[in-house]
Structure 1
Amino acid sequence: MATTLASRAAQNQSIGLLRLSFNFLRNLSTATSTQKPGASSSDSKKPKRKRKKNLFEVAQFLPNWGLGYHMAKTHWTDVSYQITKINLYKDGRHGKAWGIVHKDGLPAADAPKKISGVHKRCWRYIPHLSKPGETTSTLVKPTENAPKPEAQVA
């Protein structure tokens, strides 16, 4: 009986030493690795490329989903669409759109037509063309000889 107790005590000591050595190695490995794996490649970080947007992702930030605003594909020159109608699917990133074609800022057609390629990621908003609600009337300055609106009674 004494021999069995002595052998168990020896086993417990060897298991205890084994556990200590594993804990030591575990602590040593976590203490020395202060950088995350792959952090060495972060020194030469490249700026992330901006993901281009489809027509609906551009239009969602404009008032009234871009109705009346001009949009064009990035590779088009002097051609744009004035958006007249948008049908959105539930997710808000897909759908159908109609608009009037403008070339060099002037309408090229009277009736709106369905815009093709609205889901392609190459759309942009054209801010310098006329916006909805903007009137082309000019202010008229009153002249000195013109009759005044208030008639003076003498």
Structure 2
Amino acid sequence: MSARINANAFARTLKKLVPTKGLPPVLKPRCGNLYEVLSRTPTGGIGMEVHQTRWSEKNIPNCYWVVTRSQFKLQGTHGKAWGRLHWKGVPISIKDEIIRGSLKYTWKEGRSIQKAGTSPVKAKTEL
């Protein structure tokens, strides 16, 4: 119990000492545009699984891109990335293709998840 209290106290003290505005990109939260997420890794994101956060918000599980190549500019905030799309666990892309929506949407490491207690999105039926 005392170790947990000490860890919490340490975290609070550290937050007071280190300003959050001036943190380098490596220490910022792991969400952002695709290039910010990929540029934080030593390999430039090659072999990494990434997904758009809106897929999890829409309860579309197990969808992700596997990054095969990346080029960065402007200190890792812009660039190009190529990969293979997996949609609901099924590989869609046979060849590498450019990943679209890299700046438009928020991206995160890993696969999209389904929210607890909800069912996956079903196709809308016409009335």
TM-score range normalised by the length of the shorter chain: 0.5 to 0.7
- CA 1:106/1:120 → structure 2, altered by over 3 Å: closer, same or farther? same
Q: Highest Rg: 1 or 2?
A: 1
Listed as ranges, the gaps of 5+ residues in structure 1 are: 1-49, 129-154
Q: CA deviation at 1:82?
A: 0.4
Residue 117 of structure 1 aligns with an amino acid whose one-letter code is: G
Q: CA deviation at 1:105?
A: 2.7
Match of 2:90 among 106, 109, 115: 106
Give me the whole-angstrom Cα distance separating, in 2, the residues matched to 1:60 and 1:111: 23
Q: CA deviation at 1:121?
A: 4.6
Listed as ranges, the gaps of 5+ residues in structure 2 are: 1-28, 113-127
- CA 1:119/1:111 → structure 2, altered by over 3 Å: closer, same or farther? same
Q: CA deviation at 1:112?
A: 1.2
- CA 1:71/1:52 → structure 2, altered by over 3 Å: closer, same or farther? closer
Contact 1:71-1:126 within 8 A present in 2 as well: yes
- CA 1:72/1:127 → structure 2, altered by over 3 Å: closer, same or farther? closer
Would you tell me which structure has more helix in proportion to its own residues? 1
Percent of aligned pairs with the same amino acid: 32
1:73 corresponds to 2:73: no
Residues 31-110 of structure 1 aligned to structure 2 (within 5 Å): 52-76=31-55, 77=60, 78-110=62-94
Consecutive aligned runs of 4 or more in structure 1 exceeding 4 Å deviation:
none
Residue 62 of structure 1 aligns with an amino acid whose one-letter code is: T
- When normalised by structure 2's length, the TM-score is 0.54
Residues 123-138 of structure 1 aligned to structure 2 (within 5 Å): 123-126=107-110
| Root-mean-square deviation (Å) | 2.4
Higher RCO (Cα < 8 Å, 6 or more apart): 2
Contact 2:84-2:95 within 8 A present in 1 as well: yes
Q: How many corresponding residue pairs?
A: 79
Residue 95 of structure 1 aligns with an amino acid whose one-letter code is: G
Provide, for residues 12-53 of structure 1, a one-character-per-residue CA deviation record: whole Å limited to 9, x for no partner.
xxxxxxxxxxxxxxxxxxxxxxxxxxxxxxxxxxxxxx7951
1:122 corresponds to 2:106: yes
3-state SS of paired residue (2:43): helix
